[in-house]
Structure 1
Amino acid sequence: MHLFTKDPGNDPVTIAFKLKRFVLAHWKGIICVVVVLVCLAIVMPWPGEKWSWCLYCLVIMAVFWVTECVPLAVTSFVPVFVFPLREIMTTQEVAECYINDTMFVFLGSLIMAAAVEQSGLHMRISLYAIKIIGYSHYKLLFAMCMVTMFVSMWLVNTAATTMMVPIIFALLRVFEDQKLLTVYEKNKDGEQIASDMTTCYFCAATFSATIGGIGTLVGTGTNLVFKGLFERQFPKADEFLTFPKFSAFSVPYMIIMELLIYFWLIVRYLGFLRPRSKKAKAAKISKAGLDAAKKTVAKNIKDLGRLSFWEIMVLILFGLGIALFFSRSPEIFSGWADKVLEFLEIKEKRYIRDSVVAMGICFMMLFLPSKLFIFKNCTAKFHDDLPKRRVPSVLDWVTLNRTLPWSFMYLLGGGFALSTAAKKDYTGLNEKIGDFLSGLKDAPNVVVVLIVIIFTVFLTNFASNVAVANVVVPIGMTLAKMINKNPLLYNIAAGFSASYCFCLPVGTPGNLVVQSAAKIPTMKMIQAGLGPTVISILATWVAVLLYAPIIWPVINASPLPEWATT
Structure 2
Amino acid sequence: MSQRAAPRTTTGQWVGRIGGPILAALVYFIPSGLHSIPGMGHRPAAAAAVAAWMALWWFTEAVPMGWTALLPLVLFPALGVFGDESVVMSVGHSALPFVDPYIFLFMGGMALGAGLEQWGLHRRIALLIMHAVGTGPRRLLFGMLAATAAVSLWISNTATAVMMVPIGMALVAQLEAAEGRRLEHFGAALMLAVAYGSNIGGIGTKIGSPTNSVFAGVVSRRLGNDVGFVEYMIAALPFVLIFLPIAWAVLWRWARKDAMGPGQGGEVIASELSRLGPLSGGERAVGGVFLVAAVLWIFGDLLRPLLAPFVALAFNGFKLAGKHYEAGVAIAGALVLLLAGRLSVAALRRVPWDTLLLLGGGFALAAGIEASGLSAWLIARLSGLEGLPALAQHGVVATVTIMLSAIASNTATVNVMLNVLPASRPLMAISTFAASCDFALPAGTPPNAIVFGSGYVRLPVMMKAGVLLDVLAALVLTIYGVTWVTWVLP
TM-score above 0.5, yes or no: yes
Does structure 2 conserve the Cα–Cα contact (< 8 Å) formed by 1:504 and 1:526?
Answer: yes
**Larger-Rg structure:** 1
Match 2:272 to one of 294, 297, 300 = 300
Q: Tell me whether 1:525 sits opposite 2:462 in the alignment.
A: yes
Matches within 5 A, 1:305-320: 305-320=277-292
Q: Which residue of 2 aligns with 1:336?
A: 303
Map 1:180-195 → 2, pairs under 5 A: 180-183=180-183, 195=184
2:321 is the alignment partner of 1:350: yes
Separation in 2, partners of 1:535, 1:173: 31
Partner of 1:380 in structure 2? Answer: none
**Deviation digits for residues 532-560 of structure 1, max 9, x if unmatched?**
212221221112211123323xx2xxxxx
Structure 2 residue 217 is matched with structure 1 residue 228: yes
Q: How far apart, CA to CA, are the structure 2 residues paired with 1:164 and 1:58? A: 37
Partner residue, 2:207:
218
Rate the CA distance shift 1:310–1:507 in 2: closer, same or farther, 3 A. Answer: same
Structure-1 residue corresponding to 2:365: 418
- Give matches, 1:37-436, under 5 Å: 37-44=22-29, 49-89=42-82, 90-183=90-183, 195-235=184-224, 237=225, 239=226, 241-270=227-256, 279=257, 282-286=258-262, 289-290=263-264, 293-329=265-301, 335-342=302-309, 348-350=319-321, 352-368=324-340, 393-401=341-349, 403-423=350-370, 426-436=371-381
CA distance in 2, matches of 1:66, 1:430: 21
Note if contact 1:157-1:209 (Cα within 8 Å) is conserved in structure 2.
yes
Q: Is the 8 A contact 1:261 1:535 kept in 2?
A: no
> Per the alignment, do residues 26 and 210 of structure 1 end up closer, same or farther by CA in structure 2, a change over 3 Å counting?
closer
Shifted more, 436-445 versus 519-528: the winner is 436-445
Q: Aligned with 1:353: secondary structure?
A: helix
Deviations 1:340-377 (A, max 9, x none): 22566778442842111000000101012xxxxxxxxx
Q: Deviations over 1:389-408 (max 9, x none)?
A: xxxx110023312x111101
Query: 1:188-215 CA distances to partner (integer Å, 9 max, x unpaired)?
Result: xxxxxxx222210011111111111111
Report deviation, 1:25.
Answer: 6.2
TM-score for the superposition, normalised by structure 1:
0.78
CA distance in 2, matches of 1:117, 1:307: 14
Are 1:448 and 2:419 counterparts? no
Deviation at 1:283, TM superposition (A): 3.2
Partner amino acid, structure 1, of 2:122: H
Which structure 2 residue ranges, 5 or more long, are not aligned?
1-7, 36-40, 83-89
Name the counterpart of 1:275. Answer: none
Cα 1:458–1:27 shift into 2, 3 Å: closer
> What is the SS of the residue equivalent to 2:208?
coil
Contact 2:66–2:357 (CA under 8 A) maintained in structure 1: yes
Displacement after TM superposition at 1:45 (Å): 5.1
Distance in 2 separating the partners of 1:344 and 1:107: 22
| Separation (CA, whole Å) in 2 of partners of 1:158 and 1:105 | 19
What is the total number of aligned residue pairs between the two structures? 463
Contact 1:200 1:528 in 2 (8 A): no
Deviations 1:17-63 (A, max 9, x none): xxxxxx98665334312332244121125998111111111111111
What letter corresponds to residue 316 of structure 1 in structure 2?
A: G
Structure 1 residue 435: Cα displacement: 2.8
- AA partner of residue 68 (structure 1): E
Partner Cα distance (1:126, 1:283) in 2? 26
Aligned residue runs from structure 1 range 454-533, under 5 A: 454-478=399-423, 487-518=424-455, 520-533=457-470
The structure richer in helix per residue is 2
What do the CA deviations read for 1:284-306 (whole angstroms, capped 9, x no partner)? Answer: 215xx33xx33332222222122
* Map of 1:14 onto structure 2: none
1:174 shift after superposition = 1.3
Aligned to 2:487: 550
8 Å Cα contact 2:25/2:49 also seen in 1: yes
The 3-state SS of whatever aligns with 1:155 is coil
Q: Structure 2 CA distance, aligned partners of 1:124 and 1:252?
A: 25
- The residue identity in structure 1 corresponding to 2:237 is V
Q: CA RMSD in A?
A: 2.1
Alpha-carbon displacement from aligned partner over 1:213-270 (angstroms, at most 9, x marks no partner): 11111111100101101101122x3x3x101111122222210111111122223432
Aligned AA for 1:53?
Answer: A
- Tell me: CA distance 1:203–1:341, structure 2 relative to 1, closer, same or farther (3 Å): same
Query: 3-state SS of the aligned residue for 2:418?
Result: helix
1:75 and 1:134, CA in 2 relative to 1: closer, same or farther beyond 3 A?
same
AA of the residue aligned to 1:202: M
Kept after mapping to 1: 8 A contact 2:187/2:456: no
- Give the distance between the partners of 2:380 and 2:131, measured in 1 at CA: 57
Partners of 1:343 and 1:57 lie apart in 2 by: 42
What is the TM-score normalised by the length of structure 2? 0.90
CA distance in 1: counterparts of 2:106 and 2:329, whole angstroms: 12
How far, CA to CA, are the matches of 2:165 and 2:10 in structure 1?
33
Q: Aligned in 2, Cα 1:343/1:418: closer, same or farther, shift over 3 Å?
A: closer
State the distance in 1 between where 2:44 and 2:361 align: 17
Change (3 A) 1:54 1:181: farther
CA drift of 1:122 comes to 1.3
CA separation of 1:148/1:85 partners in 2, compared to 1, >3 Å: closer, same or farther?
same
Structure 2 counterpart of 1:70, one-letter code:
V
Residues in 1 aligned to 2:477 and 2:398: alpha-carbon distance in whole angstroms: 8
Separation of aligned partners in 2, 1:262 and 1:25: 35
One-letter amino acid of the structure 2 residue matched with residue 512 of structure 1: A
**Contact kept? 1:80, 1:94, Cα under 8 Å:** yes
Asked whether the 8 Å contact 2:215–2:432 carries over to 1, the reply is yes
C-alpha contact (below 8 Å) 2:379/2:421 kept by paired residues = no
One-letter identity of the residue aligned with 1:463: A
* Distance verdict in 2 for CA 1:324–1:416, change over 3 Å: same
- Give 3-state SS (helix, strand or coil) of 2:53's partner: helix
Aligned partners of 1:477 and 1:435: how far apart in 2?
9
SS in 2 for 1:531: helix
Quote the Cα distance in structure 1 between the aligned partners of 2:381 and 2:453. 42
Does the C-alpha gap of structure 1 residues 135 and 340 become closer, same or farther in structure 2, counting only changes over 3 Å?
Answer: same
**1:134 Cα deviation from its structure 2 partner:** 1.8
2:3 counterpart residue number: none
* Distance of 1:474 and 1:308 partners within structure 2: 46
